[in-house]
Structure 1
């Protein structure tokens, strides 16, 4: 004899309500879209929206399953094809699609970007950073990454090019602790020309022969007049209202980082840490090599905590640029 509960379950679809019966006394009821019950493993099921994009379930460890959904027509990894890689004794696991694992260079660079962001977030917390200077902000990628990794303090971003600044300004809307400025930083207060047709690689420096061979975008030669200011001249305004400022300096200015650093003058010692893109292979004429940059930072009391590849040559494996993360060890809180 059917119970009232079962009768109601059968009635609901006639009213436009979708039902997935999970067993005695248990059901999932939804207003829109059909749902399906997918067996994941012993004692575990997944209830998911059905449609043209199928779900694939793969076991990646004891009592652990990976559920994926691809775009229409995108091939799905077969069950069991995903690899679960243990990350040492950290307790973490990396789940890899075999296709991704086969792209050694792409995987390494993606992992380096994540590890760098994770490391920086930990340093900001350890050194109690309350103001990040984001120099060469472009459209705000770095600041958004900081927020995703949990940093909640002040961010001050500098981007001199008009098109990128418009996007940066929009990205910072709604974040009261993220301030943006439409100028660059350098050794002197001045006006300069910057190449603006190179997307995230815009620079005040011309490309080197190596850079032109590597990137076709350097063949374009559009320029824009921009304002440059010294870092020590904007620090007080940027940190206004912060009790006991503990700033961190991030620079990504396409070969111009040492000029930005020089503009800090004697106030460079106020930064508890810094992050600079240093080059082993010069993309820009007149840019410093990694050894020169690191030596200058070390001479001001900063020491390396991490080096993360930013770009690598596909043909040779050589690293072109590193993200170099440094701190002043004496600045670590008691």
Structure 2
């Protein structure tokens, strides 16, 4: 039996209205422009639209990037729930995008965000100010306790590393930079404070530090074993001098006892299709709750 909703949808194109049917009870309706929709999970669609472009059509790189980002966010949300994570170390927090995403996806545990860049730090503090279990720390993390020069003016790509020749060719923003001195702490030196008050800590480490993730990872020292999972931005193409290739990073993570659970493209070259960076989500399989592998002393 055809419902009134379905009859209405069928009639609208004759009136010059575009209809993208998403299934029972859902549709995208527009009098102008062209829209497309991609199903990114069982209960979510990614809708792109506007005028078509020969450079980035709605169903091209932009939509695929958005779909990958949405899938990664859902993957992380499910991971945090399945592994009973109660503290997320958000390293390279920028303006708080990741923390807001965690809250929107339903995570209610503690978030400890690390961000040393003054402008981003101010916006991060604003994002977290009404959330008592979202803590902000104005420092960078790395291999050693030190003071280092941070490159600014690169928007979300500020880094403790210099841009590579490839990075300079790809991003014009790298041509104009200034630096500021930032405090760098070791991860193992800040964990006790971050986990204070949590009876049975099950931390998750998220790193998005523009080529510096392996340095953050090294700073965990022997306390790395306490993490049940992690997320790292790994590079297939080098944007920063001294940053590791993804094969090197993944080998180190796996050597430390983590296994890949998801790999999602972050950016890619539009002309060649090569992926520049991936978001990689990893689990310490021995920490799975409720399984023989997850039994802890």
TM-score w.r.t. the length of structure 2 is 0.86
Write out per-residue CA displacement over residues 54-80 of structure 1, whole angstroms, 9 at most, x where no aligned residue.
xx673615643425579xxxx344xxx
Q: Does 2:112 correspond to 1:161? A: no
In structure 1, what is the equivalent of residue 239 of structure 2?
Answer: 283
Match 1:197 to one of 153, 166, 171: 153
Residue 234 of structure 1 aligns to a residue whose secondary structure is: helix
TM-score w.r.t. the length of structure 1 is 0.77
Contact 2:141 2:184 in 1 (8 A): yes
Write out per-residue CA displacement over residues 282-320 of structure 1, whole angstroms, 9 at most, x where no aligned residue.
000000000110011111100000000010001100000
Q: Does 2:70 correspond to 1:144? A: no
In structure 1, what is the equivalent of residue 179 of structure 2?
Answer: 223
Q: Does 2:221 correspond to 1:250? A: no
Report the Cα distance in structure 2 between the residues aligned to 1:186 and 1:291, rounded to whole angstroms: 20
Match 1:321 to one of 277, 285, 296: 277
Structure 1 portions without partners, runs of 5+: 1-38, 45-55
Contact 1:255 1:288 in 2 (8 A): yes
Question: Would you say how many aligned residue pairs link Structure 1 and Structure 2?
Answer: 276
Residue 176 of structure 1 aligns to a residue whose secondary structure is: coil
Structure 2 portions without partners, runs of 5+: 10-16, 291-297
Contact 2:36 2:58 in 1 (8 A): no
Report the Cα distance in structure 1 between the residues aligned to 2:81 and 2:36, rounded to whole angstroms: 32
Cα deviation for residue 107 of structure 1 reads: 1.3
In structure 2, what is the equivalent of residue 273 of structure 1?
Answer: 229
Report the Cα distance in structure 1 between the residues aligned to 2:251 and 2:191, rounded to whole angstroms: 24
In structure 1, what is the equivalent of residue 21 of structure 2?
Answer: 60
- Higher RCO, Cα 8 Å, sep 6+: 2
Distance 1:154 1:171, change over 3 A: same
In structure 1, what is the equivalent of residue 45 of structure 2?
Answer: 94
In structure 1, what is the equivalent of residue 12 of structure 2?
Answer: none
Alignment of 1:165-180 (within 5 A): 165-180=121-136
In structure 2, what is the equivalent of residue 184 of structure 1?
Answer: 140
Alignment of 1:276-315 (within 5 A): 276-315=232-271
Provide the aligned C-alpha RMSD in A. 2.4
In structure 2, what is the equivalent of residue 260 of structure 1?
Answer: 216
